Structure 1
Amino acid sequence: MGNALTFLYGKCCKPTTTDDSLGPHGVSAATVGVSALAHDLFNFEITSQVPEGLGRYVQSSRKAQANWYRKVLEAWKQAKPPPQTADEASRLVTEILKRNQKADVEGLLSFYGLPLPHTLVMPSTEAPVSLPEGILFEFQTLPVDPKAVADGDTITVYVSASEPVVASSVPKEVNLAAVQRSKAREKRNYPKADELHQKIIDSGYRVLNIQNEEVLARKFRIRLRGIDAPESQMPFGKEAQQGLLKIVQWKSLKVLVYGEDQYGRCVGDLYCNGTFVQEEMLKKGLAWHYLAYDKRMVLAKWEKEARKKRIGLWASSNPEKPWDWRKNNRRE
């Protein structure tokens, strides 16, 4: 239990005062508001129960409150280090719950005696943050379904509608259909819910169940930039597809998008838990460096290493290039 409390609490200070300005946890907000929240998050992870008394500060149901704690708990775990000051804790809560009602967010913060959003001093933005040259945008995917890996260089991913790159462009009719579907399911009107979901799917979106929470997400087809894997009907095509599958299945990916190809696919670099996916494919002999469309010499270097070791498709003395195979088959 001590280790779990440490990862939640970080180095939050202990109560050192007994003045009259005490919050609902009976401690000074200036000293242990962060620890009180961390304690309740730890308790929620064990019991799935939100604190008694929170309902006096917020308007939403206990089911909604549990959803808040689930989201904040996950973000708290991922923060390195976890929030150590009241301002840090307040920023984390405000960011994670930014799509919730303002009154509920402020009520939750008040319950722990944490600063309200309008009182926070935001971090300096003197150093502008920009994407590397050539990258149009980036996003984080939801876990990749194994069925979505078409071959060794193409996959289909879904991105949460709350991601910045998606949030501003979700059609109103899709959002409305998602809300109506949720209400239909609450009433056990599953045929109506299925009809609404098909409308969402036809618009390029889908409602996915992620850790028992329904998430509206947009569909993207991704073409891995800089590599060309054997087509499915070619020798080693199945091995290439399985190789990519092993890297990405059920993982969330970071995608850097450089453009769009003639088939409407996003052309991008993929990262999985910090690993550059194209590097893995080339080093394992599962793909060629696609020199005609990507001049990065490091890709050629990784292909050369695999050729030298005669691993993967390079175990064959003269494997057919996928671009040649496509050209020959188009003629036929």
Structure 2
Amino acid sequence: MASHMTDLLERTAPAYERVRRVIPAVEWPAFAEDVDAILALKRARNAVILAHNYQTPEIFNCVADIVGDSLALARQAMAVKADVIVLAGVHFMAETAKLLNPDKTVLIPDLAAGCSLADSITPADVDAMRARYPGVPVVTYVNTSAAVKARSDICCTSGNARAVVEALGAERVIMLPDEYLARNVAAETKVEIIPWRGHCEVHERFTPADIAEVREGHPGVVVLAHPECPPEVVAVADFSGSTAAMADYVADHQPSRVVLLTECAMSDNVAVLHPEVEFIRPCNLCPHMKRITLKAIRAALEENRHEVTIDPAVAAGARRAVERMLAI
């Protein structure tokens, strides 16, 4: 047993080196066997793992092949050459990967990895908005089901929302489903934004009081807020941007202290690259993202679960909306 563990730790040493600043050495043996198995399974099945920025460090840094925010994953999914894609994220992300790779096997390790935003709107809701505002183009956030995307004109992410809205050349647009993202984009553009009432259960909980408390306790801290946060939070932050933009800000500006108002794993993953920066909490956990674990990824590759399928009629419309976004 001791010899097995020694060999296992030696094989996974390069992976652990990437996360040693955020995962104590005493905890690594609990991850090592699954990391080792996943790396072998990827080779055997010609598989790649796409991991969102909200995945935990042992997934994001040790087994993932492609990492990033929703936009980055969508763009890079188009270039995947592997036979199997495992999406370490939530269900709408796996659907997007399938839309862009209809002939590949796309797996999501846990079918219950959903999204409060995706659950906040249905295709019938989109139809009702179109009926209420005839001729107004519909911009749909990628945090939605393929069926909702199929009813829209174009998709957007938090990183490109303003660019997408302005690229349409319309005086006003319907923007679904995140109300706060829509309101934050509206503050940056002359285009009239008609919002929906959906919210992210992670970002909607941040308040200006959280920022005031952090500033009081940590003088000089730089506050970065995700645009899914309420506008009053974004207004008192130092910077607002997508998870990719937050990571770029830390890399470019090298603040001595920073707080990322987003999902907790984001700070851990950025901290791996910037040991000189002090990362202050608060943060909020996404219960859906945390359903994706090393053991679930391993089981997905071993048992081919859970394969993502999309009705061809729905896929055609949804793919068109996503591809229009990627063309901008």
Tell me the TM-score normalized by structure 1: 0.23
Q: How does the TM-score come out when normalised to structure 2?
A: 0.23
Task: Work out which of the two has the higher radius of gyration on C-alpha atoms and give 1 or 2.
Answer: 1
Higher relative contact order (CA 8 A, sep 6+): 2
